[in-house]
Every structure is written in C-alpha cells, then in structure tokens.
Amino acid sequence: MDLHFGDSKPTDEERAAIDALLGPPESSWEGADRSDADLRWARGGREARERRDLLLPGLHAVNDRIGWISEGALDYLCRRLTVPPAEAYGVATFYAMFSMKPRPATVLHVCTDLACAAAGASELCAGVEARLGLGSGVAVERSPCLGLCERAPAALAIKAGDPVRTAVSAPATVERAVLAASSPDSAPEEPSAALAVPQAAEAGREELVLLSRVGVVDPASLDDYRAHGGYTALRQAFAIGPAGVIREVTDAGLVGRGGAAFPTGRKWQATASQPDHPHYLVCNADESEPGTFKDRVVMEGDPYSLVEAMTIAGYAVGAHKGYLYLRGEYPRALERMEHAIGQARARGLLGDDVLGQGYAFDIEIRRGAGAYICGEETALFNSIEGYRGEPRSKPPFPVEKGLFGKPTAENNVETLVNVLPILTMGAQAYAAIGTGKSTGPKLFCVSGSVDRPGIYELPFGATLGELLDLAGVRKRLRAVLLGGAAGGFVRPDELDIPLTFEGTREAGTTLGSGVVLAFDDTVPLPRLLLRIAEFFRDESCGQCVPCRVGTVRQEEALHRIVGRTGADAAPDIALLREVGRAMKDASICGLGQTAWNAVESAIDRLGAYE
Amino acid sequence: MTLIPLGIPRRLLEFTIDGEPVRAPEGSTILDACRSVGKDVPTLCQGDTLTPKNACRVCVVEVEGARTLVPACSRKAEAGMQVQTDTERARHSRKIVLELLASSVDLSTTPEVAGWLKEYEAKPDRFGPDAARLNEEPKIDNDLYVRDYDKCILCYKCVDACGDQWQNTFAISVVGRGFDARIAVEHDAPLTDSACVYCGNCIEVCPTGALSFKSEFDMRAAGTWDEPAQTETTTVCAYCGVGCNLTLHVQDNEIVKVTSPHDNPVTHGNLCIKGRFGYQHVQNRD
Ligand SMILES: Cc1cc2nc3c(=O)[nH]c(=O)nc-3n(C[C@H](O)[C@H](O)[C@H](O)COP(=O)(O)O)c2cc1C
Ligand code: SF4
Ligand code: SF4
Ligand code: SF4
Ligand code: FES
Ligand code: FES
C-alpha cells in the first residue's frame, strides 16, 4: 500500500489535538520533521496498520478542539495512522457530529424529535435561531432525539476548545438554551439522574431492582456503590466460574433489552465456546432510538453497576477486553463512566488481576459521533474499527466473527445490568419475576403526554394501562408509540396489552427497547409520521437500495398526503405499502427492515388518513 | 479462481432450488448454484472478480425459514436449504428495487436493466415528477476517464477494486450517508489531486457506465458510439514483462477502449495505466 497524502498541512492546534491522543510522531513517515534517522528507518507494516481503530477517536480529538475537521488535519491524522485519506474522508462524512467545513466553535443541537416536537420544539428552534443569528458564533442545528425526552424540549450545546465544553438545557426555554450555548461553563448543572426516575420519590422504591441505587448512591463514589451491595455479584461470579455464570443467566431466562430480544445465555454460550481468540465483550450504549433514554439514566445514576456487569459478562464469555460504545451526545454519561472505570482500575476491580482472582479485564470507552445506525451490532463493530458505520451482512454472526473479526458478545446496557440481580438473588428468584417467557424487571422510557415522564421499572407483565397510570397519562390520549420509531402505534382502547415480549407480539406490535410515547389529540398525527419517516431517511447508512431510496420515496409520499384523507390519500398509501413491504423484506439490516413499521401501524391501527 | 483445483475436493451440499434437488460444492453461493443449473437471477452489484457487497438487493430469493429475503449473490448454500427463486415475494422486492433505482439514477447505460424493467413490470415513473434524483453532473477532470455519478448505483465495486480486493490504492470511497452517499476521492477533490493511479480497474468493474473511458464518453455524447460495430481482439500487453491480456475494442479502425479478460488467472481483468490507457501510440500513423 503506497499511500498518497496531499500537501495540505495541519495547523499547530490541529497537530496538538492529534498528538495529544497519539503521542508525538516518531518519524517523518508519520508526519514529524525529517531527521537523519528517517533516511534509514521507516515505521510501517503491521505495526502501523494496527492503529486504524484510533481513527474515530482521532476525528473526535480534532472536532472537539477545533469544531470542524480541515483537510490538513485529516491528512495528518491519516499519516499518523496509515489510513488512506479517501477512506478517512468517507468515515468522517458518515457522522453527523463532525463537520468537514468551517463552522462556529459552538454548535447548539436543538432536538426536534417526537417528544420534543410534542413539547414545542419548533417554537424553541425558531426562538433560538432568532436570538442566535449570523455572527453570534453559534451554529444552531436541528437534531434527532437527544435522549432527554423526559425533560423535553431539549438542547445540547457543544463548544469546541481545549477541553471541549458541553451544556445540556432541558427542559429548554429560548433563554436557557441561548445561555447554554453562549457560556456553557456557567449554565446551571443538570438535575440529578434520580429525577428521571419518578418511582424513586415514591413509597414503592424497595421494589425496584435495576433502579434501586439510582438517586441513592453517589455516582462518583466506588465506596458508596460497595456500601449498597456493589461487587457482590462479581464475587459470586468468581465463586461459580464462567460456565456457572452462563448457566445462571440462561436459567434466569434473560432476554436482550436492546430491541431484538435475543436470549442472552445463548449468546454468551455461543461466544464462550468459540475456539478462535481473543474474545471481546461490547456494551451497546449507543441509544439513539427516538424516545429511549434508559441507558443514559443507568449510566448517569449508577455507573459502577455497568462496570461490574461488564466485568462479569467479560468473565463469562472469556473476554479480556470490553468496549463501551457510548452515544456521542451523552456528555454526562461519558464523564460518569470514565470516572467509574478509572476508579475501578485504580482499585484493582479492572486491570490485570481483577479482585485478585487472576482474571484480566479492562474497559475502553468509544464515543459515537451521531449515527443511529451505529447501534446496529455489526455497524457498531465497523465504527469501532475505524470504518464507516455500515452494517455487515450476516451470517457470519458476531458470536463467531464480531469485533476485529473475533468472537464477540454484544449486549445492551440494561441487559448487562440485569446480570447483577440474577447473580445476587439467584436464577430462580429472578425468573419468578415477570411472566414465564419474559422474566425479570423491565425498564420503560415513558414520555410525551404524561404528567410524570421518566424511566419506570416494572416486572414484565404489567399492562400498558398500568404503566401509563403510574406516569399520569393525560386526558384525550390519541395514540401510544410502543417500541420507539422502529416500533408501532397502538390505540387508547388497547391499553390492556401486557408489556411482555409475547404479549406485544400477540397484539401485533413490539416492545422494542421499551419506549412508551404517549400522544394526546393535540399532536398532529400526519406531522408525527412525517418526522418518523424523516428520521429514517436521515439515518439510513445508504448501503442498500431498498432502504437508501425507499426511505426517501416514503417520506415524499407522506409529504404529499399530509393534509389528505380517504380517496385522496389512497394511491400514496398503496405506494407506501408496496415500498414498505420491499424494505422489510430486502433491506440488509434492522433499520431498513423496521423503518416503515410505525407509519404502517398508524395507518392500520389508528386510521391515520381516514 | 485457480485453474487447477488444489487439495482435497470440496464436499457437495445437497439442497433444493425451486423444488428441484441440486448439488453444489461447499462454499458456493446460492447464485453460483442457480447458475449451475441454468436458473437466471438478476444481479447488479455482484461481480465475477469481487466479493459482493450485496448492496443492490435485486438478486433476493426466498429461503425456507428465513425471516427476510436473502441475497443469492452472497449467501452461501447450506445442506438442506430450500430456495425459491421466483416467488411473488421475491419478484415484488426486485420490482421495487428496480423502480427505486431507475427513478433516482440514470440506468441508460446499464446492460440488461431495460429487459428487467419490462420483465418485472416496473414503473419508475410512478413516484412522480418530483421524486428525488441524484442529479449529478459528469466529473470530467482528466483525459483518461470520466466519472458520471448520475449513473452510480453505489454497488461498491469500484471501491473494492481500488481498495483491498485488487489495487490497494484506496483512492476512492463512499462518502456521506443515506441518499446523499456518493463515491468520491478524499476531500471531494478532482481525480487529479487524489491518490488515483489511473489503472482503470474501477472502470473495468463498474456495472452501469458511471465510470467510463473519456473516449467512450465523448463518442456517446457525439452520438458516434456504436457497440455492435465494434470488434474485440484479445492480445498481450507489450509494455512490460508481466504479460497481461488486453482486449482492444475497435471501432472504425480506432481503439476506443481497453478491457481485460476476467477469467485470466493472473490478472482477473486488472491492468495498469499503461495497458489500460496507453494505446495511442498504436494508432499514431503520421
Ligand atoms: C438500526 C439499529 C439500531 C440499534 N440501536 C441499538 C442501541 O442503540 N442500543 C442497543 O442496545 N441496541 C441497539 N440495536 C440492537 C442491537 O443491534 C443488538 O441487537 C443489541 O445491542 C444486542 O444486545 P441485547 O442482546 O442485550 O439486546 C439496534 C439495532 C438496529 C437495527
Ligand atoms: S437497511 Fe438501511 S441502514 Fe441497514 S444496511 Fe441497508 S441502507 Fe444501511
Ligand atoms: S461508480 Fe460504478 S462501480 Fe462505483 S459504485 Fe458507482 S456504479 Fe458501482
Ligand atoms: S498492463 Fe501494466 S502490468 Fe500489465 S503487462 Fe501491461 S504494463 Fe505490464
Ligand atoms: S430528547 Fe427530544 S425527543 Fe428525545
Ligand atoms: S447482486 Fe446480489 S445484492 Fe446486488
């Protein structure tokens, strides 16, 4: 490979940002000034190629410090990592948070997604844009769901510099959002994660299993975590050995909480038994599904639980390295997880010899950069490896060929955190919670037209109506979106649907990742559907035709019928159905396969255009 | 693609295609098996010299027990598999894929598409006159070849041929995402400022004519491109000792483009800049 680099040079600041991540370059081959030694020595070959996975962190480093990525900076990064510039350009342009053109140092992301739209995002946007016009030094960008739906409408300010500064404003007013953007350092601190857990304030909190520590422990204190039962599950894991852990998880009937509902024990067993090594553990904390914010609350409120759970999962599947792929728009979760991992490492709970048991395990955080598709498990591997976040075709499955082509178990944050009670209370006691086929507790992200939006923990089997009662559903409920943008709508007369995998399936809908978005009749349904279509069109990776073009054609059809009903809408609805069917059947990955579900259910179950 | 099979013979898998029992060597794709029994499945992004990216989805077939349709070009055949190549379900997806493509890009130089549009009764116009299209202008920035991405179906073949599958130059990649995804060089620069070494291997694999010789592009624009009138002669490149095979496409006694046989065990259709583009000296007569 004979790489060609242009003659654009990085600025000193760009160079410093990259060198801060990678260390100074060792020779002129990777961008240093030429020295005599360079005439006789070249860094290259295997050693250099292995650093490709630092591409995404490198792009972040530049974007964080400068606010955008220039030709010179990209070329220098490529030289350092021996990555062809065309490929790096393809990667950088894939992510929404990176800009390849100069822009103001501060970007204010204003959420215009479902819950925020219902809470007045368009007025917020208009107000913010009026105040932060040209010359204000702030770029205002409309953003998909920021994962702050319980405090909608939401805005996130990111100010490039060293260090980068962020401020969240939610619920946002024009004044507060403008303040966050203009001086992120003096913006008021975000409310505690416990506020996203309405049950925490109530009497029934002893019943909480997964959320029992949120709002109780100090998320920064490892000692506090231990004082509240932390690390007993890991001790138990060491006591029963990897096979014992997998047996417990299997007997407990744990099923993945990331949306696809795959049995966790089976995934772990399949990974653990692969002859190829090393094995990897990946925690999927990408959480970009509109309406989902449970993983954020767990990471912000009880970060050590995830560190402990990842350690157990890694031990079970025979991995010595775990990656936490964390959504790029979650600054506080990032900070808390970084801190927790650092503390755990300092105290021998991560590292070469975890708890003195001779087991080596460490966790590396990788930040996403604004791409919902990177939550798809194989796209996530590509993203970590420094490639475009495009899903791979399956088979082969991740348990066989996953991250870096090695056997990999990938799990959602909530799935992993469930392993702690399984080990502390035992598989049987755990399986007694919920129903026979959907065992254990489940987190639901409730937002929209309810009085107490937030994360609710209920045993599987509670009905939709019970959940909405807890959250204080408002009068004149028009529709509930179950399972997020990739899920489906149900009617207000269907609230007796049991919240289990089998119950929702029987009712012809899905639990997805546990999103429950309530809409009263003030929300214009056709607009909402248009927003969902727009989301999928924006987030399609573009790899396969049914999804790349199909999402565009569907959005166009929905535009045409926004104000229409009956016979006026019929031809376009027929077209939507035909395209939707092919997308479901022929797309490569779950994004294209589910992109049409919500709209289809609105037409069929809600009679959206009748 | 070795000509002499080495090692132990591969195990034969038995399965069915459209109800007929077939046997195929382990490792074959469903498409290989279909073709070996004379069944036609349409393909666009599949190429005989590359690992398919299975991105176009026009080759989808139904496999018993699979939740979704399956791309025949890349799914490996398995013993006991029951494959249906021509069901209503598969035909529906193919038809929609053809409509989606034909309504967004210019398929006028994609061989076989016109026939498939007819066969599947595809009506690309039904998305209306305002349906989004690529609307790209041809990029003419060098004398050797033209990039007309208005014709690009994003099959990834050129990226793979330029990258780790053959050329290892990595001059082009997919940039952007979704409907805005395009093939481009670094920083969207002109080709002349890129890492391109003008081997033309990307042109060799491009299924749509989005990448073409400047000579062909100009003749098409002038209305003088006449494929039936062309003769093809395969010869040996005289530049260096590698001895690649060249196929000269000649119209009116002029070489109009150069391709290379894909079944050549050494080159698999790949050439270097001299073999691909250095033919002018042959026809300088004065
Ligand atoms: C487009 C798309 C986005 C996804 N996003 C997420 C996500 O943000 N978090 C997540 O845990 N799973 C997500 N998934 C599901 C993952 O692919 C995978 O099934 C899951 O992480 C497996 O973990 P589990 O078995 O613990 O559920 C997504 C899937 C698709 C198709
Ligand atoms: S379905 Fe959509 S997101 Fe998934 S691979 Fe295809 S284009 Fe990409
Ligand atoms: S230019 Fe040609 S080979 Fe490259 S992706 Fe487009 S259609 Fe495929
Ligand atoms: S095409 Fe290039 S490599 Fe092949 S024989 Fe000709 S000059 Fe040599
Ligand atoms: S934060 Fe706006 S919809 Fe989720
Ligand atoms: S030919 Fe199989 S997906 Fe394109």
Query: pLDDT over 90 for what percent of chain A?
Result: 91
pLDDT single digits (tens) A360-391? 999 999 999 999 999 999 999 999 999 999 99
User: Domain residues for B190?
Assistant: 139-282
pLDDT at B210: 98
Nearest alpha carbon to residue A151 among A446, A473, A372: A446
Helix, coil or strand: residue A67 = coil
Per-residue pLDDT band for B80 (boundaries 50, 70, 90) equals very high
Q: Which of A374, A398, A431 is the last residue of a domain?
A: A431
Q: Which of A36, A64, A93 is the last residue of a domain?
A: A93
Locate the ligand 1 atom nearest the alpha carbon of residue A285 and give its number.
9
Domain match, A407 and A308 both? yes
Question: How far does the centroid of ligand 6 lie from the alpha carbon of residue A203, in Å?
Answer: 58
Q: Dump the DSSP string for A148-214.
A: -GGG-S-EEEEE-SSS-EEEEESS--HHHHHHHHH-GGGSPPPPPGGGG-GGGGSGGGGG-STTTTT
Helix, coil or strand: residue B32 = helix
Per-residue pLDDT band for A4 (boundaries 50, 70, 90) equals confident
pLDDT at A557: 98
Contact call for residues B57 and B93 (beta carbons, < 8 A): yes
Calpha distance A388→A365 (Å, rounded): 18
Domain match, A351 and A473 both? no
- Which residue of B146, B154, B173 sits with most ligand 3 atoms within 8 Å of its CB, as the best mutation to test the pocket? B154
Domain match, A305 and A408 both? yes
pLDDT of A47 higher than 70 = no
Q: Is B249 within a domain?
A: yes
Q: Is A7 within a domain?
A: no
Domain match, B193 and B125 both? no
What total of structural domains would you count in chain A? 5
Mean pLDDT of A93-102: 98
Q: Which of B77, B109, B131 is the last residue of a domain?
A: B131
Q: Which residues in chain A are closer than 8 Å to B189, comparing Cβ atoms?
A: 6
Domain match, B43 and B153 both? no
Q: Which of B103, B131, B159 is the last residue of a domain?
A: B131
The domain spanning residue B250 has which CATH number?
Answer: 3.30.70.20
User: Domain residues for A397?
Assistant: 206-431
Calpha distance B74→A381 (Å, rounded): 20
| Residue contact A89–B57, C-beta within 8 A | no
Q: What is the Cβ-side half-sphere exposure of residue B20, based on CA atoms within 13 angstroms?
A: 12
pLDDT single digits (tens) B205-242? 999 999 999 999 999 999 999 999 999 999 999 999 89
Locate the chain A residue with the closest alpha carbon to B165: A1
Q: Is A201 within a domain?
A: no
The domain spanning residue A285 has which CATH number?
Answer: 3.40.50.11540
The domain spanning residue B54 has which CATH number?
Answer: 3.10.20.740
Domain match, B35 and B157 both? no
Mean pLDDT of B96-105: 98
Nearest alpha carbon to residue B33 among B41, B22, B42, B43: B22
CA distance A348 to chain B (A): 42
Nearest alpha carbon to residue A594 among A502, A498, A485: A485
What's A93-156 look like in SS3? CCCCCCCCCCCCCEEEEEECCHHHHHCCHHHHHHHHHHHCCCCCCEEEEEECCCCCHHHCCCEE
Question: How far does the centroid of ligand 3 lie from the alpha carbon of residue B148, in Å?
Answer: 9
pLDDT at B28: 95
pLDDT single digits (tens) A98-151? 999 999 999 999 999 999 999 999 999 999 999 998 788 899 999 999 999 999
The domain spanning residue A154 has which CATH number?
Answer: 3.40.30.10
- Which residue of A412, A419, A445, A543 sits with most ligand 1 atoms within 8 Å of its CB, as the best mutation to test the pocket? A412
Calpha distance B16→B24 (Å, rounded): 10
pLDDT at B269: 96
Question: How far does the centroid of ligand 4 lie from the alpha carbon of residue A92, in Å?
Answer: 35
pLDDT single digits (tens) A421-447? 999 999 999 999 999 999 999 999 999
Chain B segment 173-192 residues within 8 A of A by beta carbon are 173-181, 184-189
Q: Is A322 within a domain?
A: yes
pLDDT of A596 higher than 90 = yes
pLDDT of B286 higher than 90 = no
Supply the mean pLDDT for chain B. Answer: 94
> Which two tokens mark A384?
């970590």
Domain match, A373 and A344 both? yes
Q: Is A587 within a domain?
A: yes
Domain match, B171 and B236 both? yes
pLDDT at A46: 52
Identity at B64, one-letter amino acid code: E
Domain match, A410 and A439 both? no
Q: What is the Cβ-side half-sphere exposure of residue A434, based on CA atoms within 13 angstroms?
A: 27
ipTM of the complex in this document: 0.95
Domain match, B126 and B47 both? yes
Domain match, B256 and B190 both? yes
Helix, coil or strand: residue B95 = helix
Domain match, A243 and A309 both? yes
Contact call for residues A545 and B208 (beta carbons, < 8 A): no
Contact call for residues A140 and A110 (beta carbons, < 8 A): yes
What total of structural domains would you count in chain B? 2
pLDDT of B20 higher than 60 = yes
Mean pLDDT of A262-284: 98
Strand order in the sheet with A515-520: A454-459, A441-448, A515-520, A477-482, A488-490
Domain match, A427 and A558 both? no
**Counting ligands in written order, which one lies closest to the CA of residue A545?**
2
Q: Which of A464, A487, A520 is the last residue of a domain?
A: A520
Domain match, B143 and B242 both? yes
Q: Is A101 within a domain?
A: no
pLDDT of A45 higher than 70 = no
Q: Which of B104, B131, B158 is the last residue of a domain?
A: B131
Judged by average pLDDT, the poorest of A47-51, A456-460, A504-508 is A47-51
Pocket (CB within 6 angstroms of ligand 5)? A 111, 113-116, 145-149, 152, 154, 290
Supply the mean pLDDT for chain A. Answer: 95
Pairing, β A279-285 against β A408-412: parallel
Q: Which residues in chain B are closer than 8 Å to A71, comparing Cβ atoms?
A: 186-187
Domain match, A551 and A562 both? yes
Q: How far is CA A541 from CA A249, A551, A577, B73, in A?
A: 34, 11, 22, 21
Report whether the peptide linkage leading into residue A275 is cis, meaning its omega lies within 30 degrees of zero.
Answer: no
Q: Is B2 within a domain?
A: no
Domain match, A427 and A437 both? no
pLDDT at A295: 98
Residues paired with B247 in a beta bridge:
B234, B259
Domain match, A61 and A126 both? no
Q: Which residues in chain B are closer than 8 Å to A4, comparing Cβ atoms?
A: 169, 171, 194-195
Per-residue pLDDT band for A44 (boundaries 50, 70, 90) equals low
pLDDT at A49: 55
Domain match, A374 and A405 both? yes
pLDDT of B105 higher than 60 = yes
Q: Is B1 within a domain?
A: no
Domain match, B85 and B145 both? no
Query: pLDDT over 90 for what percent of chain B?
Result: 92
Question: How far does the centroid of ligand 2 lie from the alpha carbon of residue B178, in Å?
Answer: 8
Mean pLDDT of A459-488: 95
Chain center to CA of A91:
18
| Residue contact A579–B57, C-beta within 8 A | no
Pocket (CB within 6 angstroms of ligand 6)? B 43-46, 52, 54-59, 71, 73
Which residue's CA is the closest to the ligand 6 atom numbered 1? B43
Domain match, B19 and B57 both? yes
Domain match, B61 and B127 both? yes
Calpha distance B286→B283 (Å, rounded): 9
Helix residue ranges, H only, chain B: 30-36, 88-104, 113-119, 157-162, 201-205, 214-222, 273-277, 280-283
| Residue contact B174–A537, C-beta within 8 A | no
Q: How far is CA B138 from CA A4, A342, B151, in A?
A: 24, 53, 9
| Residue contact A393–B74, C-beta within 8 A | yes
pLDDT of A43 higher than 60 = no
Domain match, B123 and B13 both? yes
pLDDT at B7: 62
Q: Which residues in chain B are closer than 8 Å to A543, comparing Cβ atoms?
A: 53, 55, 154, 181
Q: Is A99 within a domain?
A: no
CA distance A512 to chain B (A): 17
Mean pLDDT of A345-362: 97
Question: How far does the centroid of ligand 2 lie from the alpha carbon of residue B96, in Å?
Answer: 16
Q: Is A512 within a domain?
A: yes
Smallest Cβ–Cβ distance between B174 and the set A6, A90, A556 belongs to: A90
pLDDT at B62: 98
pLDDT at A134: 79
Question: How far does the centroid of ligand 5 lie from the alpha carbon of residue A147, in Å?
Answer: 5
Q: Which residues in chain A are closer than 8 Å to B100, comparing Cβ atoms?
A: 545-546, 549-550, 553, 579
| Residue contact B54–A6, C-beta within 8 A | no
Per-residue pLDDT band for A201 (boundaries 50, 70, 90) equals confident
The domain spanning residue A507 has which CATH number?
Answer: 3.10.20.600
Calpha distance A311→A299 (Å, rounded): 15
Domain match, B202 and B92 both? no
pLDDT of B161 higher than 90 = yes
Which residue's CA is the closest to the ligand 2 atom numbered 6? A544
Q: Which residues in chain A are closer than 8 Å to B58, comparing Cβ atoms?
A: 545
Q: How far is CA A371 from CA A52, A328, A538, A553, B14, in A?
A: 19, 9, 9, 21, 42
pLDDT at A5: 86
Q: Is B94 within a domain?
A: yes
> Which two tokens mark A518?
């309530």
Question: How far does the centroid of ligand 4 lie from the alpha carbon of residue A451, in Å?
Answer: 73
B89 touches chain A (CB under 8 A): yes
**Which run of H or of E encompasses B249?**
strand B245-251
Domain match, A366 and A281 both? yes
Chain B segment 132-161 residues within 8 A of A by beta carbon are 132, 153-154
pLDDT at B281: 79
pLDDT of A594 higher than 90 = yes
Pairing, β A488-490 against β A515-520: unpaired
Identity at A92, one-letter amino acid code: A
> Which two tokens mark A114?
């479902």
Q: Is B164 within a domain?
A: yes
Q: Is A193 within a domain?
A: no
Q: Which residues in chain A are closer than 8 Å to B54, comparing Cβ atoms?
A: 393, 544, 588
CA distance B29 to chain A (A): 13
